A = this chain, B = another copy of it.
């Protein structure tokens, strides 16, 4: 490299260093201000995530960016990343307690990942939380004594059994809730075992989310909503969105959203393994989109097999849903076997029609995602 070039580059890099110093201090300042907003909201019991306000603020910033020749999407992306950081920091402040006279919350399976997360959130909101895990049943009476709410968060395979055998003599004022990923059977079990308020919840996220902001919690009402309405408000204050559903409709959707999907992901990895594919050369040739797909498959196998077995084996009907998938796979494969290119294109177009407006919407959404993924690549 010519000496002059080296010198010019060094000078510019010094200037960039200086700008980055200012940038760091500005980020620090913004995080502090947002933390103050959080503290005020906390005092007033307002939710940490306010979609309309956020949208209005972003629209304003986009316009300001454009005025000085910056792509609006750039400032939006930077601010969204900052907002994520602020949501995470909310946890340090704690959350407003919606119901102060509840008494103790007992989490059955409180040492599991999801039980722990809910325990932590309730704790941060001022509730007294105790865990009742599988080795604690001998002290169950003492632990359950004075409970205002019992939350069941045990593996699906034993949820109904635990409810029926262990929780049939709670006092009538006590709220009984569960966090299982299917809803019909646990809800029925809770309604039968308990005479008081009953509610089924399904948090639609893994226990490794940093914050509940923007996450979804499905609620299936059991009995006595007026007695647990505060809990739904509490969840909203944590930043999550509460979506109401009927248990059978929820369970039907879960056959696709969970059972079939996890099964397909499992088979994808199972197939790569059985075929003895050379992962290194696959990764070498990977575009960002394929690397993302492989990562989505690989991440499954870094997790607990029991958890996925639970989900896949939870509903007997899932076998039917997966069998239909297999039939459709076979049907489509026939097109390849018969080298029926025209037939393939016709089916492709039919499915496109069916997706309708969602297909281009998904294309745009995934483009933004893929760009973020590409940003993460370091070589």
Contacts and interface: CB of A to CB of B under 8 A. Distances in A.
Contacts of A319: 333, 336-337
A241 interface: yes
Contacts of A344: 305, 309, 312-313
Interface string A33-77: 110110011011010000100110000010011001111001101
A302 B378 contact: no
A254 interface: yes
Contact of A362 (B2, B302, B309): B302
Given A44-B1, A267-B328, A305 B348 contact: yes
A209 B362 CA distance: 16
Interface in A278-294: 278-279, 281-282, 284-290, 292-294
Contacts of A365: 295, 299, 376
B336 A326 contact: no
B26 A19 contact: yes
28 contacts: A12-B33, A12-B40, A16-B30, A16-B37, A19-B33, A21-B64, A24-B61, A28-B70, A51-B379, A54-B378, A77-B375, A78-B81, A81-B375, A216-B287, A243-B285, A245-B284, A254-B285, A256-B272, A263-B336, A270-B351, A275-B321, A292-B369, A293-B296, A299-B365, A305-B349, A318-B336, A326-B326, A369-B369
A376 B369 contact: yes
Number of this chain's copies in the assembly equals: 2
Nearest to A210: B371
Interface string A171-197: 000000000000000000000000000
Interface in A214-254: 214-216, 218, 241, 243, 245, 249-250, 253-254
A339 B313 contact: yes
Q: How big is the A interface, by class? A: 35 or more
Given A19-B33, A24-B65, A61-B24, A84 B375 contact: yes
Contact of A341 (B294, B309, B348): B309
Contacts of A287: 204-206, 215-216
Interface stretch (A99-107, A124-132, A353-361): A353-361
A53 B83 CA distance: 29
B366 A296 contact: yes
Contacts of A359: 298-299, 301-302
